[in-house]
Amino acid sequence: MSVNSQDVENNSKSMTSYLSPVVREIQPSGIRRFFDLVSGNKDIITLGVGEPDFITPWHVREACVYSLERGFTSYTSNAGMPELREAIAEYLYNSYDLKYDPKDEMIVTVGGSEAIDLALRALIEPGDEVLVPVPCYISYSPITSIGGGVPVEVETFAKDSFKLKAEHLQARITPKSKILILNYPSNPTGGIMTYEDWLPIAKVVEENDLIVIADEIYSELTYDHKHVSFASIPGMKDRTLLVNGFSKAFAMTGWRMGYVCGHPDLIYAMLKIHQYTVMCAPVMGQVAALEALKNGLREKDHMVESYNQRRRLIVQGLRDIGLSCHDPQGAFYAFPSIQSTGLSSEEFSQRLLMEAKVAAVPGNAFGGGGEGFLRCSYATSVSQLNEALHRMGQFVHKLKQG
Amino acid sequence: MRQISELKLKVLDLLKEDARRDPNLLATLLGATPEEIAEAIAELEEDNVIVKYATVVNSSKLDDEKVTALIEVQITPERGRGFETIAERIYLFPQVMSVYLMSGAYDLLVEVEGRNLKEVASFVSDKLSTLESVLSTKTHFILKKYKQDGIIFEDPEEDRRLLISP
């Protein structure tokens, strides 16, 4: 029987009725929409990339290759290789003063994304509200919905350097509130939280009996202040699921290596989902992650220094162009306001792409509060950044001339 | 040796990547003033830490490609001055690009550049081998340069990232 393309198309259309209503309702991400615009455009300088421009340090790649040569190709225990979990525990203790037992308080996951998904699926009962400070990483709200929860946005503002404020959090709490997702240092704003910033948040969390999913994937990328883990705030460890991974600090995005730490009861529940879905994280990635933790801290420091230099360059450059930009203290994003141009985020980004050949992600892709802003990643070379700033300067000048 | 400041080390790192970066750019990257950068560079030059600003050339892209040889040289050290006199005698030849004192099976590694094979060969036989304290030479011609001074000539690492990602 032959099948022509028309049949395939008709067939695929009819199949949508089988989909779950939740999945049917979910919109593709704003980043994805913008990606479709960008692909096919030539000679673009991109500030749209949410990952390091470094390649995974050589010794990490080499450790992985060598392990394959030696035949490391089997399953590992569900929670991850014991020696990797021990190394993670040691690293968290040395870096953030956090004590986790590698035996029953930790799972090595397929990226931080799986860890967040596990946490939400283990915790959400249908209708539970999940508080999400915005603008935020694009996945939190959709995966909350997929898990049967209701995402509730808590706005943060440029005037507060995009820090989460206790009064704004408190205002969105209802009897159905159960989970708070935190992402500091923040993608897309580059905002961070200090110890003093966390204290009033911890109070709200405690008073309202919330569980916190702290996505601290950018924890190594802070500049003038050292990262303070939410789990390290007194009283918060047991109600926090700490999510972290190797993608950003060690330039290992494609390896999909993450981990989650927390109270044994929660970890045990999440491990059940993990073992029935992915079984374990890929062994070669785990070997690489172990090498990164053992011997990669110097390279990491070098990369952080390099991001810091470019951060100064892009913030200064954006301000020179006439776009106001708060001082991002973490991750590798600048989040300038484009409100002075009178254009919406979408329109500004599209015209910047078409007229100046610079790709940056419109702020509204990151949820409420992102409108009027632009996410500019500075994980790119100094010469590319300089050229992008030059082009943006000409574009903004032309806009303001009318 | 004098302790070098952190700022100077960072300036050196950035100039080693690209010597054409101007003090204003370095100042922005390092969160310093252009005056501080200019002063740091002036001192680095004065102290001969920055010896020269050179250009790394991929000569295989040029029509007048040169021939380069690495020559292992065994010598008799001189009483009181060791290898210094003979090293100086060798590095003064304009054909000689670099001279290193080595541990191991030979004493000096000499890099020689010439217009063609014959020119290098005659330098070795007429000038180098005939020096009084030179015991032996072993010449290795470079067939192709893949990487020099940390810079890969062919196939620079490309950015494989998607143009937009979360």
Q: How far is CA A226 from CA A2, A165, A240, B50, in A?
A: 63, 20, 20, 34
pLDDT of residue B63: 82
To test the contact with chain B by mutation, choose from A382, A389, A390 the residue with the greatest count of B C-beta atoms within 10 A, namely A382
Tell whether B127 is covered by a domain.
yes
Mean pLDDT of chain A: 95
Q: Report the residue from B31, B159, B164 with minimal CB separation from A38.
A: B164
Q: For A374-397, what is each residue's pLDDT tens digit?
A: 999 999 999 999 999 999 999 999
Tell me whether residues B28 and A313 touch, CB distance under 8 A.
yes
B107 and B75 co-located in one domain: yes
Average pLDDT over every residue of A354-368: 95
Would you say domain A27-55+299-400 falls under CATH 3.10.105.10? no
pLDDT band at B150 (very low <50, low <70, confident <90, very high): confident
Is B161 in the A-facing interface, judged by CB distances under 8 Å?
A: yes
Can you give the pLDDT at residue B2? 61
Query: To the nearest whole angstrom, how far is the Cα of B6 from the nearest Cα of chain A?
Result: 12
Give the CATH number of the domain where residue B38 resides. 1.10.10.10
Task: Indicate whether B43 belongs to any domain.
Answer: yes
> A1: pLDDT confidence band, cut at 50, 70 and 90?
very low
**What average pLDDT does the segment A106-113 reach?**
98
Q: Is B6 on the interface with A (CB under 8 A)?
A: no
Query: Which residues lie below 8 Å from residue A187, measured CB to CB, with a gap of 6+?
Result: A50, A136, A137, A218, A331, A333, B166
Question: pLDDT tens for residues A232-287?
Answer: 999 999 999 999 999 999 999 999 999 999 999 999 999 999 999 999 999 999 99
pLDDT reported for residue B156: 67
Mean pLDDT of chain B: 92
The CATH number covering residue B142 comes to 3.30.70.920
Categorize the per-residue pLDDT at A40 as very low, low, confident or very high, splitting at 50, 70 and 90: confident
Looking at residue A4, its pLDDT comes to 52
Together in a domain, B18 and B82: no
Q: Which band of pLDDT confidence, cut at 50, 70 and 90, is reported for residue A6?
A: low
DSSP letter string over A221-267?
A: -BSSS----GGGSTT-GGGEEEEEESTTTTT-GGG-EEEEE--HHHH
The confidence band for B33, taking pLDDT boundaries of 50, 70 and 90, is: very high
Inter-chain touch B163–A35, beta carbons under 8 Å: yes
B162 in contact with chain A, both atoms CB, cutoff 8 A: yes
**Residue A182 has what DSSP assignment?**
E
pLDDT, residue A331, reads: 98
Phi first, then psi: what are they for A34, rounded to 5°? -70, -35
* Residue A14, pLDDT score: 72
Q: How does DSSP assign A313-367, residue by residue? A: HHHHHHHHHT-------BTTEE--B-GGGT--HHHHHHHHHHHH-EE-EEGGGGS
pLDDT score of A3: 47
Lowest-confidence pick of A158-162, A240-244, B97-101, B152-156: B152-156
CB contact under 8 A, A382 and B25: yes
Whether residue B157 lies inside any domain: the answer is: no
> At residue A34, does pLDDT exceed 90?
no
Contact A312 B25 (CB under 8 A): no
Average pLDDT over residues A158-167: 97
Report yes or no on B156 lying in a domain: no
A12 or B38, which is more confident: B38
B112 and B66 inside one domain: yes
Interface of B with A in 19-78 (CB under 8 A): 21, 25, 28-31
CB-CB neighbors (< 8 A) of A389 in chain B:
none
Where exactly does CATH 3.40.640.10 map onto chain A?
Answer: 58-295
Determine contact, residues A332/A185, Cβ cutoff 8 Å.
Answer: no
B96/B120 same-domain check: yes
pLDDT digits (tens, 9 = 90+) for A287-297: 999 999 999 99
Q: Are A359 and B157 a contacting pair at CB < 8 A?
A: no
pLDDT of residue A223 exceeding 70, the answer is yes
Contact A35 B25 (CB under 8 A): no
Peptide bond into A82 cis (omega under 30): no
Q: Is residue B165 part of a domain?
A: no
Residue A228 banded pLDDT, cuts 50, 70, 90: very high
CB contact under 8 A, B166 and A309: no
- Tell me whether B14 touches chain A (CB under 8 Å): yes
Q: One-letter amino acid identity for A352?
A: L
Q: Which residues of B touch A359 (CB under 8 A)?
A: 163-164
Asked if pLDDT for residue A360 goes beyond 70, the answer is yes
Do B85 and B17 reside in the same domain of the chain?
Answer: no
pTM of the model: 0.91
Contact A156, A164 (CB under 8 A): yes
Query: Is B166 in contact with A139 (Cβ distance < 8 A)?
Result: yes
Q: Which of A179, A210, A182 is nearest to A197 (CA)?
A: A182
B136 and B97 inside one domain: yes
**CATH of segment(s) A58-295:** 3.40.640.10
Task: Report the domain count for chain B.
Answer: 2
**Residue B73 shares a structural domain with residue B118:** yes
Q: Are residues B17 and B91 both part of a single domain?
A: no
CA-nearest residue to B32 within chain A is: A312
Selecting from B14, B29, B164 the residue whose C-beta is nearest the C-beta of A35 gives B164
Q: Are residues B130 and B70 in the same domain?
A: yes
Q: Do B165 and A386 touch (CB under 8 A)?
A: no
Q: Which residues of B touch A116 (CB under 8 A)?
A: none
Domain of B123 in residue numbering reads as 60-148
Per-residue pLDDT reduced to its tens digit, A47-97: 999 999 999 999 999 999 999 999 999 999 999 999 999 999 999 999 999
Identify whether residues B65 and B144 lie together within a single domain: yes
Q: Is the pLDDT of residue B77 over 60?
A: yes
Tens digits of residue pLDDT in A310-351: 999 999 999 999 999 999 999 999 999 999 999 999 999 999
Contact B157 A55 (CB under 8 A): yes
